[in-house]
Amino acid sequence: MSETTRHDDRPEPADRPATADRTEQDWRSILSPEEYHVLREAGTERPFTGEYWNTETEGVYTCRACGAELFRSETKFDAHCGWPSFYAPLAEDRVRYIKDTTLGMERVEVRCAACDSHMGHVFGGEGFPTPTDLRYCINSVSVRLVPASS
């Protein structure tokens, strides 16, 4: 099992339950309040405020809660929306999709397949010049960029 890192970058204690067995109290102790709100309560950070909305650093974007690799910088593009946007996940088995009818509209929520944390939403048919015509609109607080040079 890979080691998970807490929001303060300290390694998690070895007696912590595996990701699938974590209680909400476990998540609260591991994540910062903002991370918990977005990742576990499907919140959203404000646009143009997140750490990665405009970064061009090469690397892999991992789930901030469990460390699963979800997106690669090669699929990131500037959608001018204020959140990191990708046209595809690293692999389809890395994410799962849920119909979301909150806010009076129908959207598709994107979650980490490994720990069921909220990442953001995926939108299609917006006309971006990408290979998939999809925009994975992901909260910066939901992911952590591991630069290619590390």
Contact status, residue 64 vs residue 89, Cβ threshold 8 Å: no
Question: Pick the catalytic residue: 63, 66, 115, 137?
Answer: 137
Contact status, residue 113 vs residue 98, Cβ threshold 8 Å: no
* Alpha-helix runs per DSSP H in 1-125: 24-30, 33-41
- Nearest of 127, 108, 133 to residue 118 by alpha carbon: 108
Contact status, residue 50 vs residue 140, Cβ threshold 8 Å: yes
Phi, psi of 144 (to 5 degrees): -135, 130
* DSSP-assigned states of every residue in 76-101: EE--SSSS-EESS-S-GGGEEEEEE-
Q: Which two tokens stand for residue 117?
A: 């944390």
User: How far is residue 11's CA from residue 73's CA, in Å, rounded to a whole number?
Assistant: 25
66 a catalytic residue: no
Catalytic amino acids?
Answer: 137
